[in-house]
Amino acid sequence: MKDATLSPNLSHFDYIITGGGTAGCALAATLSQNATVLVLERGGSPYDNPTATDIGNFANTLLNITDPNSWSQLFISEDGVFNTRARVLGGGTVLNAGFY
C-alpha cells in the first residue's frame, strides 16, 4: 500500500474505485496491472493494529462507534436494528472476526 502523499501527482486516473473493501481492493489490484487506479477509502489501514490482528479485541472494535476515526460506523437498518459497518481498508472482512 502506498501513501497517496508520496505518490507522483497525476491529473487523471484510468479508474477510480470508491471503497477499499474486499471487492474494491481486489478490483484495484487487478486493474492496476495495466492501468492507473485510485482507491478512495474513508478508513485507515489495518496493518499492525491490534484490533485487527488479535481476536480478543474484536468486541472493542465493534463497540467503538463514537470515535470519528473508529473502524466501526453505526447504522440502523430499515427494520430498526442497530448495527455497525466497517470503514477500514479491507472493509467488513477486517471487522467480522470470521463470522458468516
Question: Is the pTM of the predicted complex or chain greater than 0.75?
Answer: no
1-20 mean pLDDT:
82
DSSP string, 13-78: -SEEEE--SHHHHHHHHHHTTTS-EEEE-SSB--TT-HHHH-GGGHHHHHH--SSTT-SEEEEE-T
Per residue in 57-81, pLDDT tens?
777 777 777 777 778 888 899 999 9
Indicate the domain borders of the chain: 1-41, 45-100
Among candidate residues 59, 52, 46, the one with its CA nearest the CA of residue 20:
46
Per residue in 23-65, pLDDT tens?
999 999 999 999 999 999 888 777 766 666 677 777 777 777 7
> What DSSP character marks residue 99?
-
CA angle, residues 23, 88, 46, in degrees to nearest 5: 105
